[in-house]
Chains A and B, each alone.
Chain A
Amino acid sequence: MSDFKRSMSLTGEPPKALTVQQKIAVLIGMFGLGILLLSLTSINFPNKALWLITSLVSITVGIIWFSSAAYLDKSEGIKNDGVWFKSISSRGLLGWLAGIAMTGFYVVLYFYPQFLGLQGEGKDNVGVIGLFDPLSKALSGNPASQWFVYGTLYTVAILAFGIKFIWKYRHNRYEKIRTMSVMFFQTAFAFLIPEFMARLNSDSFSLPYYDLKNIWPLNYSNFEQYRVDSFISAGTVGTALLIFGVISIFVITPILTYKYGKRWYCSWVCGCGGLAETAGDAFRQLSDKRKSAWNIERWVIHSVVVFVVLMTTAVVYTYLGYDPNKYWLTRNVFLIGVAVILTLVFAGVMIFKRKQLAKDAKYGAIGYFVIILALIGFHYFSNTESVFLLKAEKLRSSYGFLIGAVFSGVVGTGFYPILGNRVWCRFGCPMAAILGFQQRLFSRFRITTNGGQCISCGNCSTYCEMGIDVRSYAQKGENIVRSSCVGCGICSAVCPRGVLKLENDTPAGRINSKDVLLGNDVDLMEFVNRKV
């Protein structure tokens, strides 16, 4: 970054400037944002519903108009012209300002919602949260919270930038369909359905706010006491939802990942992925491709999985203790169950898939496995109230603060313009790590490379949001089977030579290693393959 030149231009003028239409579009969008900002001050808008609609519509129209001016007068095809000359998308001043503004927004949202106008129980909201009250009441019947404000803006962002994405990649049907899918899941599953479900709640019947597509461990609080109690007390519907939550983890996700790779979730369904793909698309080229970044990624993301497993085990363990006679699931059964499942997974991988793991991955897996079992064993044979040497509540709150708030929110989204759009998915998401593990070892999914056609231009690596050095595989003609790949398909889209294709095929021959370019003489290929 330090030796980064904005442009080699001697005039110092970026060769890309905004058109008149785009300037007007920015004005309209900023007007909408301005209303939200003004609502934070003491101004009390008289007709909140009208001002809210004006604001959201202006923001949406601004984004859509800007995008239409950017793409629709050009021919279909990849148009990344000037991406590295524009301040916003090349870590220039605008990029840093956007990053700081978004990070600031997240800090306030997570830790100081009172600044947004949240008044707490019984009092009327003011500020921007107050502005959203009419919409929230219309949907769920309840006043808005900071999460409702966030959810609404999130959905607006995915819808408006989703349209931008579809126009930008309109020559590519995979990208269009995939984007419609994330737009749908965000609007329906993450936004509207939970609000409507909340409307069903009464004094005798209450379900927790539940986004059905949000699966543990991404949804790390799904098995906390208040939620489980609430599910169970809601009778058949609640119990069904609870069972669905468990089945999603152990049955649905492994099957879908086996068939299609983790992309079915990460770039077709997931909300975090949805925002990254749509609003974050302008920043995908900023992900770090160095090998050092990859090493950090593998250790950090897998540590988060271990952390979330320990934390959830500890939390569930604690409340099971309150009434051991009520359920068949006692503390002991639960702990032994966790140990057995982890052992089975670990043993299965080490026995059947050992050869596919790199040395450091093997050591890491063994290390973490020993730590978890030791903690469980240690606890089992000692009679202490605190689980895993720490209090469950302490673990939960640390996870919630460090991973749930700081990592996934503040860093994950706030740093889009600095570290790229999938920072969270790449370095922090435990769900991505688990699905990635399944994808790497048990899936039919791979990216195939087209014989000897690669010219090593590097478009694929540059535009990989997960920081995978796609080119290093493509120039060898080797299939790409990586746990971090979210299957966004952009590498295939930006390739000027048609070298990359996302495929689901039989597991045999998925991992190939070719040392000699296809098209070279057959004898030489045989020779080198024999040597290996």
Chain B
Amino acid sequence: MQHTIIIGNGISGVTAARHIRKLSDQQITIISDETDFFFSRTALMYVYMGHMKFEHTQPYENWFWEKNRIDLKKGRVTGVDATSREVILKSGDRLSYTSLIIAVGSKPNKFGWPGQDLEGTLGMYHKQDLEKLEKYAPTNKVCKRAVIVGGGLIGIELAEMLRTRDIEVTFLVREDSFWNGVLPAGESEMINEHIRSHHIDLRLGVNLKQIIDDGSGRVKAIEIAETGEIIDCEVVGLTAGVSPNIDFLKGSELELGRGVKVNRFLETNLPNVYAIGDCAEQHEGIGLRRPIEAVWYTGRMMGETVAQTICGNRIEYKPGHWFNSAKFLDIEYQTYGWVFAKPQAYESQFHWMHPDRTKCITVSYNHDTNEFLGINTFGIRMRHEVFDRWLTENMDVDYVIKHLKEANFDPEFYKTYESDIIKTFSQQETLLT
């Protein structure tokens, strides 16, 4: 019988398993040593914050796997033997496969900072990171201050988590404004203010020089490179991005770059071996996307796609229009299409901000053709389907602004800002002409 082995029980691997089961009767085994059952990594923060128990992060009940004949094996894969078509486990066991899906996700980046492996340092990615956090930062008496290094989405989530236990947080961001590699200046500045309003000590334009040892192998303080300032702390969160978790594949016959190299069919250089999710690297980025996309939903889409291929319907991975979302403390963020932090040569941006500085939108369009290119929204929910359609139909920006109401997804009775947005937009247009 056909046997597909999936390494990794994250969203990519589990989606692949579910879809293979829908399409075929073959044997499926998922191997992981992180947890017994699939859980939503995105929800780990809510466990520490006390919004949920860990069980709540598991989308399927424990009987689901046996009922759907998906075998779960707890163990760590140490290598892949492509000639004999076997995966090798740390325990010494070997399992043979007919198809192999590598869905091992990523690990937090470390840039060789002195002291980066001391006790009290952690990422915020694995369940084990959460356990570490409970060990080193259970209360503000045990942990008076934490320092977070890295200005991305995981960093701000970690800051929010620690603040719910009234732990002082210093947040070191290398850029001179939060996430300004992704967000246009006005938005980035708004989020800076929002972070500070939550009593987070946000330091912009600074780098970590070293993490200082207390003499027993634990974190005592950190030093900032630019100023030499020493900040005492008990916990250091290293959240400077993630990279593919593929060290165990080094020395195998798999072609590796930063991740496992795959073609548009998610196939690696070895027959019947596929890679999906955070650990897969396209030879070239698809459209404007990056070769490696560490995004929850692309992992799902790759899982759906590879399942088709494995079940005999070879299909190319073709993600549609870019979209994403996040939440910065209390401000929700959604994006559809492309809005660049530093506008491209062809790109103009229309920016609207509410006077209370917790809601804003940025609409990007081609100033030669007037074509709508993308939108960022903060504090206003938008409807994915509508923007997906507008992007497909290449609507022009005037149409989009005029019909923003159709795309509004805020709950009933919410204040709407469309008329204000339209007014601001037409005023700007008059200024330009």
**A, B: real partners:** yes
Interface residues of A (CB under 8 A from B): 4-5, 7-11, 13, 15-16, 75-78, 80-86, 171-174, 177, 285, 290-291, 450-453, 455-459, 461-462, 471-472, 475, 489, 492-493, 496-498, 501-503, 516-524, 527
The CA-CA distance from A501 to B53 in the complex, in Å, is 25
Closest Cβ of chain A to B65, distance in Å, is 14
- Taking CB atoms, residues of chain A closer than 8 Å to B165 are 15-16
A522 in contact with B320 given A83-B51, A456-B11, A496-B332 (CB within 8 Å) = yes
The CA-CA distance from A174 to B325 in the complex, in Å, is 23
A524 in contact with B305 given A459-B43, A462-B56, A492-B411 (CB within 8 Å) = yes
Asked if B329 and A77 sit within 8 Å, CB to CB, the answer is yes
What are 12 A-B contacts with C-beta separation under 8 Å? Answer: A80-B50, A84-B53, A174-B411, A451-B323, A453-B325, A475-B59, A497-B325, A498-B382, A517-B297, A520-B318, A521-B317, A521-B318
Residue from B58, B139, B327, B388 in contact with A13 in the complex, judged by beta carbons closer than 8 Å: B139
Q: B12 contacts the other chain (Cβ, under 8 Å)?
A: no
Q: B270 contacts the other chain (Cβ, under 8 Å)?
A: no
- Among residues of A, the one whose C-beta sits closest to the C-beta of B49 is A81
Q: B26 contacts the other chain (Cβ, under 8 Å)?
A: no
- Taking CB atoms, residues of chain A closer than 8 Å to B327 are 496-497
The CA-CA distance from A498 to B59 in the complex, in Å, is 19
Residue from B141, B329, B388, B414 in contact with A519 in the complex, judged by beta carbons closer than 8 Å: B388
- Taking CB atoms, residues of chain A closer than 8 Å to B57 are 457-458
The CA-CA distance from A475 to B308 in the complex, in Å, is 19
Asked if B42 and A457 sit within 8 Å, CB to CB, the answer is yes
On chain B, the number of residues with a Cβ less than 8 Å from chain A's Cβ atoms is 64
Q: Which of B130-138, B249-257, B397-405 contacts A (4 or more CB under 8 A)?
A: B130-138
**Which residues of B (103-145) have their CB < 8 Å from a CB of A?**
130-131, 134-135, 138-142
Closest Cβ of chain A to B206, distance in Å, is 26
Interface residues of B (CB under 8 A from A): 11, 40, 42-43, 46, 49-53, 56-59, 61, 130-131, 134-135, 138-142, 164-165, 197-198, 296-297, 300-301, 304-305, 308, 313, 315-321, 323, 325-327, 329-330, 332, 334, 381-385, 388, 409-415
- Taking CB atoms, residues of chain B closer than 8 Å to A498 are 325, 332, 334, 381-382, 409
Q: Is the interface of A mostly helix, strand, loop or mixed?
A: loop
Asked if B388 and A451 sit within 8 Å, CB to CB, the answer is yes
- Taking CB atoms, residues of chain A closer than 8 Å to B141 are 11
The CA-CA distance from A451 to B336 in the complex, in Å, is 11
Residue from A75, A475, A524 in contact with B197 in the complex, judged by beta carbons closer than 8 Å: A75
Residue from B43, B134, B301, B323 in contact with A9 in the complex, judged by beta carbons closer than 8 Å: B134
Asked if A456 and B59 sit within 8 Å, CB to CB, the answer is yes
Asked if A457 and B43 sit within 8 Å, CB to CB, the answer is yes
Residue from A9, A462, A519 in contact with B52 in the complex, judged by beta carbons closer than 8 Å: A462
Asked if A85 and B318 sit within 8 Å, CB to CB, the answer is no
Given A11-B141, A472-B59, A519-B301, 13 other A-B residues pairs in contact with their CB atoms under 8 A: A11-B142, A84-B53, A173-B415, A450-B384, A451-B388, A455-B40, A457-B57, A498-B382, A501-B411, A517-B301, A520-B320, A521-B316, A522-B320
- Taking CB atoms, residues of chain B closer than 8 Å to A520 are 301, 304-305, 318-320
Closest Cβ of chain B to A402, distance in Å, is 31
The CA-CA distance from A174 to B411 in the complex, in Å, is 7
- Taking CB atoms, residues of chain B closer than 8 Å to A519 are 297, 301, 319-321, 323, 384, 388
A174 in contact with B134 given A456-B11, A496-B327, A517-B301 (CB within 8 Å) = no
Asked if B138 and A15 sit within 8 Å, CB to CB, the answer is yes
A76 in contact with B330 given A173-B414, A489-B411, A501-B411 (CB within 8 Å) = yes
Closest Cβ of chain A to B137, distance in Å, is 9
- Taking CB atoms, residues of chain A closer than 8 Å to B334 are 453, 497-498
Q: Which of A83, A174, A451, A489 has most B Cβ within 10 Å?
A: A451
The CA-CA distance from A461 to B140 in the complex, in Å, is 30
A80 in contact with B300 given A462-B56, A501-B381 (CB within 8 Å) = no
A524 in contact with B315 given A173-B413, A462-B51, A498-B381 (CB within 8 Å) = yes
Asked if B56 and A461 sit within 8 Å, CB to CB, the answer is yes
Closest Cβ of chain B to A256, distance in Å, is 16
Q: Which of B315, B319, B413 has most A Cβ within 10 Å?
A: B413
Closest Cβ of chain A to B128, distance in Å, is 12
A75 in contact with B330 given A462-B56, A498-B325 (CB within 8 Å) = yes
The CA-CA distance from A9 to B165 in the complex, in Å, is 12
Residue from A5, A11, A15, A174 in contact with B413 in the complex, judged by beta carbons closer than 8 Å: A174
- Taking CB atoms, residues of chain B closer than 8 Å to A285 are 52
Asked if A77 and B388 sit within 8 Å, CB to CB, the answer is no
Asked if A85 and B413 sit within 8 Å, CB to CB, the answer is no
- Among residues of A, the one whose C-beta sits closest to the C-beta of B133 is A8
Asked if B56 and A81 sit within 8 Å, CB to CB, the answer is no
